[in-house]
């Protein structure tokens, strides 16, 4: 059984790298963001709570995140292991996690702040159907128009330079102590997240001594 944590700033490709790693190793992917989005979409009690927090412009607090992850892991549907994204959020949670789950490794996707800016500022969203675009990797056929429905492409409201700079500051402030704690226990593999996704995945696997990724 293999148990991993993946860490990286937004735009570092965490979701994609988790999916690639989970695919042939049969790992259960546990993404805190996905779990919250599911609850919001399905109008659960937790979803309502998360929606209220977001509407107030606040962050979901660490205790709630921990409760959600604990609950998810207690389902025990991870026979071959798991990869967790979005947890732990602080030092005490990291300690608890290491002690309780015997983690095999922490994957740190390293992306310089300038590159995060470049990637995030290139994100667009279709104002009609909600399709995602990234002007670096996924150019629409016609400028500023959705390939699917022809709707106008817009930036997300919170993808401004100021908002991103604030998110990055908060991210480093919160994440650095967790990374340092993991690093002291010699669990962290740091991978440059700038190359293409398959190259990044192969480097992750090389460092974790896993069989190489075979696309398709």
> According to the binding rule CB under 5 A, does residue 129 interact with Zn ion?
yes
Name the DSSP class of 77. -
Residues 6+ apart with CB under 8 A from 84: 4, 5, 6, 30, 31, 32, 69
Which contiguous run of DSSP H or E holds residue 85?
strand 81-85
Interacting residues with Zn ion between 79 and 118 (CB under 5 A): none
**146, 163 Cβ separation under 8 angstroms:** no
Tokens of 190: 């740091």
Q: How far is the CB of 135 from Zn ion (least distance, A)?
A: 15
Name the DSSP class of 98. H
> According to the binding rule CB under 5 A, does residue 166 interact with Zn ion?
no
C-alpha–C-alpha distance, residues 177 and 118, integer Å: 26
Q: How far is the CB of 147 from Zn ion (least distance, A)?
A: 8
Binder to Zn ion among 48, 148, 163, 170 (CB under 5 A)?
148
Binder to Zn ion among 54, 142, 149, 165 (CB under 5 A)?
149
> According to the binding rule CB under 5 A, does residue 1 interact with Zn ion?
no
Binder to Zn ion among 7, 50, 84, 146 (CB under 5 A)?
146
Cβ proximity to Zn ion, 79 vs 139, nearer residue: 139
Binding site for Zn ion (CB under 5 A): 126, 128-129, 131, 146, 148-149, 151
């Amino acid at each position: 059984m293999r148990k991993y944590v993946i860490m990286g700033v937004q735009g570092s490709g965490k979701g994609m790298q988790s999916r690639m790693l989970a695919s042939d190793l049969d790992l259960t992917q546990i993404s805190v963001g996905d779990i919250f989005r599911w609850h919001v979409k399905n109008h659960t009690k937790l979803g309502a709570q998360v929606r209220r927090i977001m509407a107030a412009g606040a962050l979901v607090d660490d205790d709630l995140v921990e409760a959600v992850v604990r609950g998810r892991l207690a389902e025990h549907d991870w026979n071959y292991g798991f990869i967790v994204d979005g947890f732990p959020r602080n030092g005490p949670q990291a300690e608890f996690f290491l002690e309780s789950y015997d983690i095999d490794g922490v994957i740190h996707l390293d992306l310089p702040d300038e590159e995060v800016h470049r990637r995030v500022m290139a994100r667009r969203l279709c104002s009609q159907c909600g399709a995602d675009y990234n002007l670096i990797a996924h150019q629409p056929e016609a400028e500023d128009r959705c390939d699917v429905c022809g709707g106008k492409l817009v930036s997300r409201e919170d993808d401004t330079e100021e908002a991103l700079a604030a998110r990055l500051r908060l991210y480093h402030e919160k994440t650095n102590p967790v990374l340092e704690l993991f690093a002291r226990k010699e669990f962290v593999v740091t991978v440059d997240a700038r190359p293409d996704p398959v190259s990044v995945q192969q480097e992750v696997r090389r460092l974790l001594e896993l069989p190489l990724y075979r696309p398709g």
